[in-house]
């Protein structure tokens, strides 16, 4: 694991600097029209650089989930392109094993154990159970579920299922982690706990995260950059760099610094909503 | 990576695994004892009615007479049971293989499903007893005709349940498989087939009972007779001869076979589903 525990400088430096970081993925003027004629996304361009924690924030219908799915290769863009400058591209036009996805629901296979669920991405590449054991257990440990490897999803609480889902997304060691409102259905206490856990994983692995949310507070807590989107048609409204302190914890949640960040994000979101209405 | 575990679970719902309710041992015993006692009481009542009213054997034999017939007529009844059982099991086995295979083929293409739908519907809604005479004409011998009838009846619950199951896969899981570049075989093997198991098991339990019924009904329709006939013929034969104890013995055999099939299919269903599916898990409020 040593090689991946890199870039701890991320935690110290405010992440608004170092614009020269390598490009992980770039959306170029991407539009998406659904089969019923709805223009879900209009001319979205987004450069995602290594180590960023980007939140896509916006009201419902702003195309934030659609954008995430297009990046993941679930549903093609109607126009525009997605470029992966530093990845090996497979036959589907997707980066080989470089993307992990966490859905809004845990999306676990109920007939498989926790171990079996986390093993799945490796199994689909032909890695057998015995060979995958170390990797799977390592990821389960990192989300605090090593003791539950043999449990079935129905025996777990909502928060634990989400952790399994995160472990599964990380088991292929992706460069980019896509999260689609992953904690929207959880209670506030569990959600805060998981926010902290995701931050810790991000800081320790140096992974790039794109996080879809409709919560101002969640995005202001987690992100190094927030892309605020507006609806009808879904498009980028504004792109905010967020300065974050080295340590984010309970004290940060009640600090003036955090409040100011929230204010800034909230104002941007309000403008985005008003611009869609006018 | 760090071990978040120590801090991760404090004060969140992550700390609590859901405990599965367990039955107490007392309750388990009662679950077996109560139906058995009720059954024994029913049989005793039957015997009492027969004895108290002096009903002759050729009108209503008591359970004792039926039990005696089960032994004295064993040389005719057991081979007949074997014939019926063989037809039932073989028909069910072919229906399983055929139903599952056709379901997998059908769900590959919407057009194929549409094209095949008139045939499946026609065969399903036509009462099998009505086409039995036709099958008897075309089939090489009575045994295979009976098997075709039983097969047709058992086939559709499996096919329609399996098709429904294969189509009821969680869309997010399908997306997940797509995301990880799973090929068609992997998606079928690791996702669609496991996800359809609850549906398949429901179909299996229905088909198991139906194939026995169809094997008996088809034999009535076929009117097969003599050596190598099944239990349906022995029932008719005992009716002609007013040999009611033997008739009851044959009915007990059929009933026992039905129970055995139901028990076996339920057990298989439990084996496959009890770890994960809601239907096999006790609810506790």
pLDDT at site A12 = 41
Q: Of the candidates A74, A110, A144, which has its C-beta nearest B8's C-beta?
A: A144
- Chain A residue with the nearest C-alpha to that of B10: A193
Classify residue A72: in a domain, yes or no: yes
Apex B225 CA angle, B222 and B230, nearest 5? 75
Cα B185 to Cα A196, B34, B180, B191, B196: the distances in Å are 39, 48, 14, 10, 15
Q: Are B9 and A144 within 8 A, CB to CB?
A: yes
Closest CA to A261 of A210, A223, A233: A223
Evaluate the CA torsion angle B135, B140, B142, B146 in order and state its sign.
negative
What ranges in A45-108 are assigned the alpha helix state H?
A: 64-72
pLDDT at site B49 = 94
Span B25-29, mean pLDDT? Answer: 83
pLDDT at A207 over 60: yes
End-to-end CA distance of chain A: 52
Classify residue B29: in a domain, yes or no: no
Classify residue A79: in a domain, yes or no: yes
Classify residue B35: in a domain, yes or no: no
Q: Does B17 touch chain A (CB under 8 A)?
A: yes
A45: left (phi over 0), alpha (psi -120 to 50) or beta: beta
Classify residue A187: in a domain, yes or no: yes
Cα B145 to Cα B15, B74, B135: the distances in Å are 61, 26, 6
Q: Does B13 touch chain A (CB under 8 A)?
A: yes
- Chain A residue with the nearest C-alpha to that of B19: A155
Task: Count CB neighbours of A89 within 10 A.
Answer: 12
| Helix (H), strand (E) at residue A44 | strand A39-49
pLDDT at site B220 = 87
Classify residue A151 by its DSSP letter: -
Strand pairing partners for A236?
Answer: A229
pLDDT band, residue A256 (cuts 50/70/90): confident
Phi, psi for residue A228 in degrees, rounded to 5: -90, 130
pLDDT at site B10 = 46
**Are the C-beta atoms of residues B257 and B84 closer than 8 Å to each other?**
yes
pLDDT band, residue A17 (cuts 50/70/90): very low
Classify residue A125: in a domain, yes or no: no
B53-88 pLDDT, tens digit per residue, is 999 988 899 999 999 999 999 888 999 999 999 999
pLDDT at site A244 = 81
Closest CA to A182 of B182, B172, B126: B172
| CATH number of the domain bearing residue A213 | 3.40.50.300
Q: Smallest CA–CA separation between A265 and chain B, in Å?
A: 28
Closest CA to A189 of B31, B13, B257: B13
Residue A28, SS3 per DSSP: strand
pLDDT band, residue A185 (cuts 50/70/90): confident
Sequential DSSP letters for chain A: -TTTS--THHHHS-TT--TTSPEEEEEEEEEEE-TTS-EEEEEEEEEEETT-EEEEE--TTSSHHHHHHHHHTSS--SEEEEE-TTS-B-TTSSBTT-EEEE-SS----TTS-HHHHHHHHHHTTT--HHHHHHHHHHHHHHTT-GGGTT--GGGS-HHHHHHHHHHHHHTT--SEEEEESTTTTS-HHHHHHHHHHHHHHHHHH--EEEEEES-HHHHHHH-SEEEEEETTTTEEEEEEE----S--SHHHHTSHHHHHHHHHHHHHHHHHHHHHH-
Q: Of the candidates A1, A138, A157, which has its C-beta nearest B16's C-beta?
A: A157
Classify residue B74: in a domain, yes or no: no
Contacts of A146 in chain B (CB under 8 A): 5
Q: Of the candidates A107, A146, A159, which has its C-beta nearest B12's C-beta?
A: A159
pLDDT at B221 over 70: yes
pLDDT at site B247 = 93
pLDDT band, residue B227 (cuts 50/70/90): low
Tokens of B64: 């004792």
pLDDT at site B285 = 55
Classify residue A144: in a domain, yes or no: no
> Which domain does A35 fall in, by range?
9-98+174-277
Q: Does B9 touch chain A (CB under 8 A)?
A: yes
If one counts the domains in chain B, the total is 1
Cα B65 to Cα A55, B49, B51, B56: the distances in Å are 81, 14, 11, 11
**Are the C-beta atoms of residues B127 and B71 closer than 8 Å to each other?**
no
Closest CA to B146 of B52, B69, B75, B220: B220
> Which domain does B241 fall in, by range?
81-274
* C-alpha R_g of chain B: 25
Residues of chain A above pLDDT 70, percent: 89
B134-187 pLDDT, tens digit per residue, is 888 898 888 889 999 999 999 999 999 999 999 999 999 999 998 888 888 999
Span A245-259, mean pLDDT? Answer: 82
Q: Does B1 touch chain A (CB under 8 A)?
A: yes
Classify residue A30: in a domain, yes or no: yes
Classify residue A140: in a domain, yes or no: no
ipTM of the complex: 0.83
Q: Does A33 touch chain B (CB under 8 A)?
A: no
pLDDT at A25 over 70: yes
For residues B261 and B85, give the distance between their C-alpha atoms in angstroms, rounded to a whole number. Answer: 10
Q: Does B168 touch chain A (CB under 8 A)?
A: no
Residue B1, SS3 per DSSP: coil
A111: left (phi over 0), alpha (psi -120 to 50) or beta: alpha
For residues B228 and A203, give the distance between their C-alpha atoms in angstroms, rounded to a whole number. Answer: 78
Closest CA to A165 of A150, A147, A183, A188: A183
| Helix (H), strand (E) at residue B213 | helix B193-222
pLDDT band, residue A92 (cuts 50/70/90): low
If one counts the domains in chain A, the total is 1
Span B195-215, mean pLDDT? Answer: 93
Classify residue B21: in a domain, yes or no: no
Q: Which residue has the tokens 């003036």?
A: A256
pLDDT at A6 over 50: no
| Helix (H), strand (E) at residue A161 | helix A158-170
A53-86 pLDDT, tens digit per residue, is 999 998 887 888 888 988 888 888 888 888 887 7
Q: Helix-strand-coil percent breakdown of chain B, rounded to 5?
A: 80, 0, 20
pLDDT at A20 over 80: no
| CATH number of the domain bearing residue B107 | 1.10.3720.10
pLDDT at site B58 = 87
Q: Does B4 touch chain A (CB under 8 A)?
A: yes
For residues B136 and B253, give the distance between their C-alpha atoms in angstroms, rounded to a whole number. Answer: 26
B229-262 pLDDT, tens digit per residue, is 889 999 999 999 989 999 999 999 999 999 999 9
pLDDT at A8 over 90: no
For residues A239 and A82, give the distance between their C-alpha atoms in angstroms, rounded to a whole number. Answer: 19
Q: Which residue has the tokens 């679950």?
A: B31
Q: Does A6 touch chain B (CB under 8 A)?
A: no
Classify residue A180: in a domain, yes or no: yes
Task: Count CB neighbours of A259 within 10 A.
Answer: 12
For residues A25 and A92, give the distance between their C-alpha atoms in angstroms, rounded to a whole number. Answer: 16
pLDDT at site B109 = 84
**Are the C-beta atoms of residues A248 and A199 closer than 8 Å to each other?**
yes
What is chain A's mean pLDDT, rounded? 83
Tokens of B223: 């009117």
Q: Smallest CA–CA separation between A244 and chain B, in Å?
A: 22
Classify residue A97 by its DSSP letter: T
Omega into A108 within 30° of 0, i.e. cis?
no
């Amino acid at each position: 694991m040593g090689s991946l525990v890199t870039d701890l400088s991320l935690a110290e430096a405010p992440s608004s600097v170092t614009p020269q970081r390598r490009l992980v993925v770039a959306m170029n003027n991407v539009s998406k029209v659904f089969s019923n004629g709805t223009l879900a996304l209009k001319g979205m361009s987004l450069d995602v650089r290594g180590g960023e924690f980007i939140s896509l924030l916006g009201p419902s219908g702003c195309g934030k989930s659609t954008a995430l799915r297009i990046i993941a290769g679930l549903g093609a863009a109607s126009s525009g392109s997605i470029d992966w400058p530093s990845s090996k591209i497979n036959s589907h036009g997707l980066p080989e094993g470089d993307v992990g996805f966490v859905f809004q629901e845990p999306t676990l296979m109920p007939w498989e154990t926790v171990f079996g669920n986390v093993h799945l991405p490796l199994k689909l590449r032909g890695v057998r159970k015995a060979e995958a054991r170390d990797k799977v257990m390592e990821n389960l440990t990192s989300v605090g579920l090593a003791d539950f490897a043999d449990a079935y999803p129905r025996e777990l609480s909502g928060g634990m299922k989400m952790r399994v889902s995160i472990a599964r997304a990380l088991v292929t060691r992706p460069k980019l982690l896509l999260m689609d409102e992953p904690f929207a259905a959880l209670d506030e206490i569990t959600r805060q706990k998981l926010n902290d856990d995701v931050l810790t994983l991000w800081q320790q692995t140096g992974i790039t995260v794109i996080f879809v949310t409709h919560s101002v507070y969640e995005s202001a807590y987690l992100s190094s950059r927030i892309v605020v989107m507006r609806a009808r048609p879904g498009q980028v409204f504004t792109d905010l760099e967020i300065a974050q302190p080295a340590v984010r914890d309970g004290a940060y949640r009640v600090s003036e610094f955090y409040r100011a960040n929230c204010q800034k994000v909230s104002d941007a979101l309000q403008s985005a909503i008003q611009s869609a209405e006018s | 990576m760090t071990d978040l575990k120590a801090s991760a679970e404090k004060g969140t719902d992550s700390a609590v695994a859901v405990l599965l309710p367990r039955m107490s041992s007392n309750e388990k015993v009662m679950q077996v004892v109560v139906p058995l006692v009720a059954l024994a009481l029913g049989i005793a009542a039957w015997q009492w009615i027969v004895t108290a009213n002096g009903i002759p054997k050729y009108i209503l034999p008591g359970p004792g007479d039926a039990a005696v017939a089960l032994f004295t007529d064993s040389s005719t009844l057991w081979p007949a049971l074997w014939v019926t059982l063989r037809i039932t099991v073989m028909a069910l086995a072919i229906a399983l293989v055929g139903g599952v295979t056709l379901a997998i083929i059908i769900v590959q293409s919407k057009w194929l499903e549409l094209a095949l739908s008139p045939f499946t519907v026609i065969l399903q809604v036509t009462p099998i007893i009505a086409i039995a005479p036709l099958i008897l004409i075309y089939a090489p011998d009575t045994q295979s005709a009976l098997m075709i009838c039983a097969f047709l009846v058992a086939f559709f619950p499996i096919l329609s349940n399996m098709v429904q199951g294969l189509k009821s896969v969680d869309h997010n899981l399908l997306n997940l498989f797509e995301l990880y570049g799973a090929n068609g075989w992997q998606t079928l093997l690791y996702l669609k087939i496991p996800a359809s198991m609850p549906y398949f098991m429901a179909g299996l339990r229905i088909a198991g009972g139906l194939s026995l019924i169809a094997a008996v009904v088809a034999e009535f329709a076929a009117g097969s007779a003599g050596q190598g006939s099944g239990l349906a013929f022995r029932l008719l034969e005992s009716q002609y001869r007013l040999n009611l104890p033997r008739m009851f013995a044959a009915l007990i055999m059929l009933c026992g076979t039905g129970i055995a099939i139901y028990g076996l299919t339920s057990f298989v269903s439990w084996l496959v589903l009890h770890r994960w599916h809601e239907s096999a898990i006790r609810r506790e409020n």
